[in-house]
Amino acid sequence: MPAWLAAPPTVAFALAAGVVVAACLDAAVGDVVAHRVPRWSSVVRPWRQAAVVALQRRTSSERPDRQAWALAPALLLGLAAVMLTVVPLAPGVAVADVPHGIVLYGAAAATVLIPAFLQGWSPNSALAMIGGYRMFAQGLSSMIPFALVLIAAALPAQSLAVGEIVASQQGLWNVVRTPLGLPVYLATVPALAFWGPLATPAGRDLAGGIDLEAAGAQLLTWRVAQAGVLVGMSAVGASVFLGGWAGPLLPGPVWVVLKTVALLAALVAMSHLVARVRIERFVVLAWVGLLPLALLDVFLTGWWLL
């Protein structure tokens, strides 16, 4: 396996390519939902929309915290890159092939709350600030079930290294032996990525929430970083639950890409097929529904191992 696959530039390229794929998938699914046949416009439209946003005039509010406002998208993009560093493309081939890779990923996913809150707090705008508080409400509610299903997936490998978790699935993927893990994971990822039905921090009832005062290059960078987080979470989910590089005929990195795109397509489709969830209903669902299911997933996995 070439050594350059484990180099940091590979992460930057993968992140950029993943963001483009996510944008094209979003446009294509939108066409299907609107009963239009996806054409080349699904590829061209995201670039045109990005150009329109980038050329917008930068807006400003009264006495914003400009440093924190500029830091928010940069921090979010950095966290997306950290998520991708733990994804192994083949046995022993990862940028951060650390013994506690799943912990590093969980820490990055939890830290997403900070740039999201900064994006809402920095403009010094009431509705944007409410959006930031919403992010903390849904993020804290989903973080425990999110972490529990990752722990359950790590139990068969008896390791917190993502590479070891992938290697332990050579005979049977975690999506089969921990059947509740992937559904709970897919239910909590939109909450941490404030995406699709759980994009409540940027809700229309708040006139855009944390995105209300953003415009121009800052807004474009923010949306790219948000898509990057979605790509990183899809890539780790493909490794932890779908066997990562494991698969017949094709090389390991190709299987990683295909499985990542499959999860990314499922998450993108949620934004078109699932109605927006009210924040108070999701908080109740997370504590009353997702948390017991995640605990049950841990217990069932432990029982299966014993």
pLDDT tens track for 68-115: 888 999 999 999 999 999 888 887 777 777 888 899 999 999 999 999
pLDDT tens digit sequence for 257-284: 999 999 999 999 998 888 888 888 999 9
Q: Whole-angstrom Cα distance, residue 69 to residue 249?
A: 47
Which ranges in 155-206 belong to alpha helices (H)? 162-167, 174-177, 181-192
Cβ-Cβ contacts under 8 Å for 73 (sequence gap 6 or more): 115, 119, 218, 221, 222, 224, 225
Cα 76 to its chain centre, rounded Å, is: 11
pLDDT tens digit sequence for 155-200: 988 888 888 999 888 878 888 888 899 999 999 999 999 988 898 8
Name which residue leads in pLDDT, 229 or 2. 229
Given a contact cutoff of 8 angstroms between Cβ atoms, the answer to whether 146 and 192 are in contact is: yes
Minimum mean pLDDT among 60-64, 141-145, 172-176, 233-237: which range?
60-64
58 — pLDDT class (breaks 50, 70, 90): confident
Q: How buried is 105 (Cβ within 10 angstroms: 0-12 exposed, 13-18 middle, 19+ buried)?
A: buried
pLDDT reading at 6 higher than 90: no
Q: What are phi and psi of 75, to 5 degrees?
A: -65, -40
Cβ-Cβ contacts under 8 Å for 192 (sequence gap 6 or more): 109, 110, 112, 113, 139, 142, 143, 146, 229, 233
202, HSE (Cβ side, Cα atoms, 13 Å): 20
Q: Whole-angstrom Cα distance, residue 187 to residue 252?
A: 27
Q: What's the Cα-to-Cα distance from 123 to each of 76, 106, 183, rounded to whole Å?
A: 17, 28, 36
